[in-house]
Structure 1
């Protein structure tokens, strides 16, 4: 009886694993150029979810009937025509006459098919209302604008050794000074990472398949993170031939390395646990190295500078609301020590009070027995 109950469960697990392997051979390689290996199969679920969500969104346009090979062919057509205008790309899709499309598909259906391909391949939500724009112009409109204050002056660049000497000789160096009301944030705090944001700031992570959602805050407690890092890493190697703004992909990859620091061994283990638990892909962040001088300087993030500044502001303003937060948040050492000293004193007082009460009860009981 037990075997009959467990057998269907294991059968579903085997089917799910085979489905992920198929995704690795077809979608991952055909759409994003990602080679799936045995150790990283867990993050393929995020790409499968992304594809299935889009197929259900455009179900009326026949995409639910398209198999993965046909989806790869559709994306390949868009890749080949990416330097043309939106109107010309739609004409190419109409001429292709895909099996799963209606024989006389209307203008709206063709546009939805192109919308699907762009979302799947480039992780953006395009506005295709202007037919005269190229794909690169459409993509650029969906992404954050480049900050003009993001340039890094030469006289501010320092080597790691010089920075350490400066910090030791001048303990109140400019990057360590507290910010005034009129002084904008230039350097992020040294503990700025996913670990600190979640433990000290009580910020919860949410995962998104769209680059426009990356590093956006929902209220003051939820932070959206782009979940397809390996695709961005693969795209960044071919950035010259892709419709992204110059340097955008490399900077996005560095923001992931900023949050999920690839240097620390414990941090890498924590990142892999997050991957397996949430079915997200952050491997590019683990393998993306960034110098310690540049990783905390907001001027090296022209595209994501304003969002990182807002996250830092929310993080600095966050106050501990639970014992777990009080334990990890040691930014104010005096308050932290005062609180835990009071807790220790309270616990000792309670323990000795209980011992004293028990001793008194035993003495009364002994005298009563005598």
Structure 2
């Protein structure tokens, strides 16, 4: 009990040192397989934030104690070893990777048990491939783990499965152009769905209908860097489709979208500027890996607005929108004229009643006054 309290106290007092620019540049060089002098850190501001956040989370918890010794250099060496094995297309298996790392001066077997080395490998993969691999801080708790029986390539491929192909006739239901107004701005306006940024690539376009939130993977520029890497860890088709979804939902030519990003992201771009231009009309059938999530979002987008606020702003069907507002106008005028008629009728009734009272008072006065008193009898 006392030991736990001491450990907790030490963690609270532990100071966190932000990774230096040179360390991040060296790591990005290994991750993207490019020379260090070609890494422009300002283009990876979003990734630097993610990288720092992971190290900060580790420093505040027990995980860093279990992973010691661990530095940026350890991460770089692990990724470079995986790259070396995978460069010629060979499969990378974890037992073979461990044996290779134990031969490195940074990973002596005396201070790197199988479990400790596995944890370091998983952390390196999490930082490199932006997937929730054994992630105790995953936002949706959808943590995944690599084992000793599956190659790294197969493990990653399983995270991005293509949907089962339907018959040619049924496949035609996806053969339509996604409209230009299918953007994040319109999704928020018409469907009441808010954006939740995620740092896990596999969570991209995960829609929560109950909370009305859509997860969007924000590090577009970094993933595009992985696409240009010398080795293909995440399938290029997956990244290409991801870029298309971002170009569709966040068009760079739309001023309202750019205003939204500036407001929500403030000083950080999160890679939303994107290195790829808008590719032109997109068919839903162009997507395979992200089709299910994209079609779910589009179906939600096409539903009637869930609230009156969204209904007032919904101009997707111009005729329907004008019909709605014409009906609102008619109802409004009917209510106004009804109120005016009610007020007029009330006033008329009031005036008639007052006239009746005056007439009765005059009649009563006439009966109460004798002829002599009234000067009507001649003497």
Cα deviation digits, residues 15-46 of structure 1 (max 9, x gap): x9x86856754444453465223x87466323
Quote the offset at 1:268 in angstroms.
Answer: 3.4
The answer to whether the aligner puts 1:298 opposite 2:303 as a matched pair is no
Structure 1 residue corresponding to 2:145, chosen from 127, 136, 140: 127
Quote the offset at 1:48 in angstroms.
Answer: 2.4
Quote the offset at 1:94 in angstroms.
Answer: 2.9
**Secondary structure, counterpart of 2:82 in structure 1:** helix
Q: How do 1:263-302 residues align onto structure 2 when only pairs under 5 Å count?
A: 263-276=253-266, 279=268, 281-283=270-272, 285=274, 287-293=275-281, 295=282, 297-302=283-288
Q: Distance in 2 between matches of 1:141 and 1:183?
A: 26
Match of 1:59 in 2: 64
Q: Distance in 1 between matches of 2:171 and 2:129?
A: 39
Match of 1:35 in 2: 40
Cα deviation digits, residues 32-85 of structure 1 (max 9, x gap): 465223x8746632342245446658424325x533344333333333334432
Quote the offset at 1:203 in angstroms.
Answer: 0.8
The answer to whether the Cα contact below 8 Å between 1:207 and 1:224 also exists between their aligned partners in 2 is yes
Q: How do 1:219-368 residues align onto structure 2 when only pairs under 5 Å count?
A: 219-220=209-210, 221-238=212-229, 241-276=231-266, 279=268, 281-283=270-272, 285=274, 287-293=275-281, 295=282, 297-323=283-309, 325-337=310-322, 340=325, 342=328, 346=332
Match of 1:184 in 2: 173
Length-normalised TM-score, structure 1: 0.67
**Secondary structure, counterpart of 1:292 in structure 2:** coil
Quote the offset at 1:116 in angstroms.
Answer: 0.9
The answer to whether the Cα contact below 8 Å between 1:253 and 1:284 also exists between their aligned partners in 2 is no
Q: Distance in 2 between matches of 1:112 and 1:223?
A: 30
The answer to whether the Cα contact below 8 Å between 1:23 and 1:44 also exists between their aligned partners in 2 is no
**More displaced 10-residue stretch of structure 1: 88-97 or 111-120:** 88-97
CA RMSD of aligned residues (A): 3.9
**Secondary structure, counterpart of 1:98 in structure 2:** coil
**Secondary structure, counterpart of 2:103 in structure 1:** helix
Could you say which structure has the larger radius of gyration? Answer: 2
Change (3 A) 1:215 1:42: closer
Length-normalised TM-score, structure 2: 0.66
The answer to whether the Cα contact below 8 Å between 2:93 and 2:149 also exists between their aligned partners in 1 is yes
Q: Distance in 1 between matches of 2:324 and 2:194?
A: 25
The answer to whether the aligner puts 1:194 opposite 2:194 as a matched pair is no
The answer to whether the Cα contact below 8 Å between 2:193 and 2:213 also exists between their aligned partners in 1 is yes
Quote the offset at 1:120 in angstroms.
Answer: 1.0
Quote the offset at 1:114 in angstroms.
Answer: 1.1
The answer to whether the aligner puts 1:79 opposite 2:68 as a matched pair is no
Q: Distance in 2 between matches of 1:146 and 1:245?
A: 15
More helix by share: 1
Q: Gaps (5+ residues) in structure 1?
A: 1-15, 152-180, 361-370
Change (3 A) 1:223 1:231: same
Q: How do 1:124-163 residues align onto structure 2 when only pairs under 5 Å count?
A: 124=131, 125=133, 126-129=144-147, 131-145=148-162, 148=165
Q: Distance in 2 between matches of 1:147 and 1:135?
A: 23
**Secondary structure, counterpart of 2:157 in structure 1:** helix
